[in-house]
Amino acid sequence: MPEIIELNVGGVSYTTTLATLLQDKGTLLAELFGEGREALAKDSKGRYFLDRDGVLFRYILDFLRDKALHLPEGFRERQRLLREAEHFKLTAMLESIRGERDARPPGCITIGYRGSFQFGKDGLADVKFRKLSRILVCGRVAQCREVFGDTLNESRDPDHGGPDRYTSRFFLKHCFIEQAFDNLHDHGYRMAGSCGSGTAGSAAEPKPGVDTEENRWNHYNEFVFIRD
């Protein structure tokens, strides 16, 4: 077995050392590449082939190299990474993933949005879809950043103090409410309550290009998520 190992993991190529793969003697990788190993399958370019998630394997290698878990901000694949760590019998990595999850502080984040319904030529009989102008985020700054990562827009927040402060001025860079819910669920939050209100009438002239019926039917909704 050469000192430099080329791998094809689920179609993603990696180059590492044999010492890295044998770092933890109790893992499946140590079994595959250590003494007494069985013949490993190779691809057309002679790289050892592992039929696993190629994208997540980078975190497996990082952990073997550094003995520490390093995940990017807003990482949403913890459950899948947990499954990969279980497959490769990485006990220490499993403990790190579970420990990080259990160590997350409790908190509350409120999501709100103002929107309207898109109407067709037939008015109420032809409602097309909802239109969201902006998704607002309120809560402790550090927890909002943890959950939403790069999708969080902080440009309207005038206070640039520490991460332990609270704000009601964040909003998201996208308008997909279900994506926001997925982010919260992935970080251990659950919905505790919601409320909504609507308006059905406006004397003001609508803006150019805005349908009269659409301008009438506006609504505002808030959803409260908590993490114990």
Please say if the pLDDT value at position 210 is more than 60. no
**At 33, is the secondary structure helix, strand, or coil?**
helix
CA atoms of 147 and 152, how far apart (whole Å): 9
CA atoms of 47 and 218, how far apart (whole Å): 58
Percent of the chain with pLDDT over 70: 81
Total count of residues recorded for the chain: 228
Q: How many CB atoms lie within 10 A of CB 75?
A: 14
Specify the fold of 4-103: Potassium Channel Kv1.1; Chain A (3.30.710)
CA angle (2, 40, 83) in 5-degree steps: 105
The segment(s) of the chain belonging to CATH 3.30.710.10 are: 4-103
Which residues, 6+ apart, have CB-to-CB distance to 176 below 8 Å? none
Please give the span between the terminal C-alpha atoms of the chain, in angstroms, as a whole number.
49
Please say if the pLDDT value at position 37 is more than 90. no
Whole-model pTM above 0.75? no
Q: Which pLDDT band, with edges at 50, 70 and 90, does 188 fall under?
A: confident
**At 185, is the secondary structure helix, strand, or coil?**
helix
Q: Which tens digits make up the pLDDT trace of 166-186?
A: 998 899 999 999 999 999 988
Lowest-confidence pick of 37-41, 54-58, 173-177: 37-41
